[in-house]
A and B are shown apart, each in its own frame.
Chain A
Amino acid sequence: MNAIQASALFLAGVEALLGLLVLVGALRALRAHARRAEAERVESQRQFLFLAAWVLAGLAACAWPLLYVMLHDAVPLWRGILCIEGMTRIGSGSRGAAGLLPTLMTSLAVLRPLAVLLAGAWIVAHRVDRTTHTGALARRVFALLALAGLAGLLGGAAELAWLTIPKYAQARAAGCCSVATTAAATLAPGARAWAGPAFFALLPAACALALVGSRRTSAGMLAAGAVAAAACVPVAWVFASDVASPAVLHLPLHHCAWCLLERAPESIVAALLLAAAVGSAGWAAVAAWRVPQEVREAATDTARRALRRAAFCYAAVVLMALTALGAA
């Protein structure tokens, strides 16, 4: 185990513990809030809970990139693995605990960004809630906190399991960028030809929705913006794999988004911008969706700023994609 793996192991352990703490604390606060009888005790626990939640949010933000730095760092140690995609397939076809490794990695691919998004959603809702004296959004804040805690707990536990399950001498078949099926997986040019048109239709549409929503914030616009943002993630991933990667890397038969991120580092900027856009659109919906009258102004203001940020990030991603394909 090297320094990066040890750091990841430590962070995952702390994250799982803090996630559990935050989950339990948030559920208790939710229950107490519903009873309205223990307001003073809830208030005293709130400070500690929020402090733990801030640390958890920071850990989630660190653990997500660290996971992939760790995988990238381990690639040369595995014969027949070319990039992170191959690392995520370690254990495919194995029996016993090692057979769980690909499932754990797939879970992490969802849980890691989800933890960041939920922690961000909690921060946004918490900030809006702080503008009131009555805690009008307290239920939403605690519910988001419970979800963020759950995501942290599951993410930390999944990473701990992935790191501790022995991996040597396990089969690593299947997938682009692991040798067993490199040919089968990569020799399929144009397999998903819809990716380009879908990307260049969906992202500008999401940008336009965010721009319109930043001027006329309504429940419908917020929901449409959040749905469009959620749809952008898989479409952008397929676009990166099937359109951007072959073109930018000049490897027409190689369809791998991880290789694009590794060998064309500017694509990391595009990925971060897209994450910011998706997060901002989601956070806008969380902040302003059907809020009580007393926080409406603050919530709308927060949502509008988030949507303007989302529109900028979407536009930047589309421009980057256009110029990257043009330069290729």
Chain B
Amino acid sequence: MTPRARALLVVCGLAAAAALPPVAAALRAGGPPHCALDGVLVDPLHRVVVDEADGARAALCSISCATAWLAREGAAPSSIRVVDEATGDELDVRAAWFVTSRVVAVAAADDRTHVFASEADARRHAQAYGGHVLVGDRRPFADLNGERTR
């Protein structure tokens, strides 16, 4: 191989290496949402959406990830929205009923907290799967300003 051909090969190789990450990033863009904390694919039925005071929005895969996300320094949510497991509808966290039971909600996060819009659904799930409804200080996000205490 001539020196010129070798130099050309080196330049092409370096150019290909430099081009690879942006091309791969472009191919990955627009995929399904991943948890802002641990990167796990977000299951729509267990999604938690945190709107921060500065306008930023984060989708999280589970209640435990959302709790960890909010535990970081300087976190100031303006609203938190969760999903009713019974209907798939989104609701404000203050209107939600939380149940912890034997049923794993999000396996990757080892999370067993279930969210319901109605008290009846929450109590039915708790009775059926050996769980209990989380009230008072045991409710997720209980220490947030404006959180209603049940």
Listed residue (A263, A266, A315, A322) with the most chain B CB atoms within 10 angstroms of its CB: A266
A residues less than 8 Å from B67 (CB atoms):
183
Which of B10, B17, B20, B39 is close to A251, meaning CB atoms less than 8 Å apart?
Answer: B39
Q: Across the interface, which residues of B come within 8 angstroms of A323, CB to CB?
A: 18-22
Chain A's closest residue to B10 (CB) is A312
**Distance A233 CA – B41 CA, assembled complex (angstroms):** 30
Given contacts A79-B110, A82-B39, contact A320 B68 (CB under 8 A): no
Is B64's CB under 8 angstroms from A319's CB? no
Q: Which residue of A lies closest to B37 (CB)?
A: A253
* Interface flag for B104 (CB, 8 Å): yes
Residue in B17, B24, B64, B72 whose CB lies within 8 Å of A253: B72
> Out of B13, B28, B68, B104, which one reaches A316, CB within 8 Å?
B13
Contact between chains at B18 and A265 (CB < 8 Å): no
Could you tell me if A80 and B37 are in contact, using CB atoms closer than 8 angstroms?
no
A328 at the interface (CB under 8 A from B): yes
Determine which of B20, B37, B64 lies in contact with A320 in the assembled complex, contact meaning CB atoms within 8 Å. B20
User: With a CB–CB cut-off of 8 A, which chain B residues contact A266?
Assistant: 20-21, 24
How would you classify the secondary structure of chain B's contact residues: helix, strand, loop or mixed? Answer: helix
Binding site of A, secondary structure by majority: helix, strand, loop or mixed? helix
Interchain CB contact under 8 A, A320 and B18: yes
Interface mask (A184-195 → B, CB under 8 Å = 1, otherwise 0): 001100000000
Residue from A177, A316, A319 in contact with B38 in the complex, judged by beta carbons closer than 8 Å = A177
Number of interface residues of A (CB under 8 A): 35
Say yes or no: A183 contacts B68, CB within 8 Å.
yes
B34 on interface, CB distance cutoff 8 Å: yes
Report whether A82 and B34 are in contact in the complex, using a CB–CB cutoff of 8 Å: no
B135 within 8 A of A: no
Task: Say yes or no: is B71 at the interface (Cβ < 8 Å to chain A).
Answer: yes
Q: Is the CB of B25 within 8 A of A253?
A: no
Using Cβ atoms and an 8 Å threshold, which residues of chain A touch B39? 82, 249, 251, 254, 259, 263
Count B interface residues, CB 8 Å: 32
Known: A264-B28, A320-B20, A327-B25. A187 touches B71 (CB 8 A): yes
Question: What distance in Å separates the Cβ of A192 from its nearest Cβ neighbour in chain B?
Answer: 17
Cβ of A326 within 8 Å of any chain B Cβ, yes or no, is: yes
Contacts of A254 in B (CB 8 A): 37-39
Taking the complex as formed, is A97 at the interface, i.e. its CB lies under 8 A from any CB of chain B? no
Task: Report the Cα distance A265→B20, complex, angstroms.
Answer: 10
In the assembled complex, the CB of B78 is this many whole angstroms from the nearest CB of chain A, namely: 19
Question: Separation in Å of the A254 CB from the closest CB of chain B?
Answer: 6
Q: Could you list 21 A-B pairs, sorted by A, with CB under 8 Å?
A: A80-B107, A81-B108, A179-B111, A183-B67, A183-B68, A183-B71, A186-B37, A186-B68, A187-B68, A248-B21, A251-B36, A251-B39, A263-B34, A264-B21, A265-B24, A312-B10, A316-B18, A319-B14, A323-B18, A323-B22, A324-B25
Residues of B near any A CB (own CB < 8 A): 10, 13-14, 17-22, 24-26, 28, 34, 36-40, 64-65, 67-69, 71-72, 104, 107-111
What residues make up the interface of A, taking CB atoms closer than 8 Å to B? 76, 79-82, 177, 179, 182-183, 186-187, 248-249, 251, 253-254, 259, 263-266, 269, 273, 312, 315-317, 319-320, 322-324, 326-328
| Given A183-B37, A312-B14, 8 further pairs, Cβ under 8 A | A80-B109, A177-B38, A187-B72, A253-B69, A264-B21, A312-B13, A324-B21, A327-B21
Ordered nearest first, which 6 A-B pairs have the shortest CB separation? A80-B110, A183-B68, A324-B21, A316-B17, A327-B22, A266-B24
